[in-house]
């Protein structure tokens, strides 16, 4: 798990397929699915690696709950 971070999680049934996250991603690790979700949209999917945790897709996404970024952060003890 540790070594896969940072990562982007896309809530499949909250995505409306606008693709703005895909355009925003500097690493081009997001793409649109072939199948449709429950809402009837093709949804964004993460390639599984390559995310740098830059948050660009998080802010580009108009659907407030659709994208979650998980990353590691240095904290002072």
Angle at 52 between CA 47 and CA 57, to 5 degrees: 70
Q: Smaller CB distance to another protein: residue 47 or 71?
A: 71
Q: Smaller CB distance to another protein: residue 34 or 75?
A: 75
List of residues contacting another protein (CB under 8 A): 5, 11, 13-14, 16-20, 23-24, 39, 41, 55-56, 58-66, 68-77
Q: Smaller CB distance to another protein: residue 49 or 62?
A: 62
Complete DSSP assignment for 23-46:
HH-TT--EEEEEEE-TTS-EEEEE
């Amino acid at each position: 798990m540790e070594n896969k971070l940072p990562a982007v999680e896309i809530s499949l049934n909250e995505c409306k397929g606008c693709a703005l996250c895909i355009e925003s991603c500097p690493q081009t690790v997001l793409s649109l699915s072939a199948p449709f979700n429950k809402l009837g949209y093709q949804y964004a999917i993460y390639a599984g690696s390559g995310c740098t945790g830059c948050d660009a897709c998080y802010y580009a996404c108009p659907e407030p709950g659709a994208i979650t970024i998980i990353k590691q952060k240095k904290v002072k003890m």
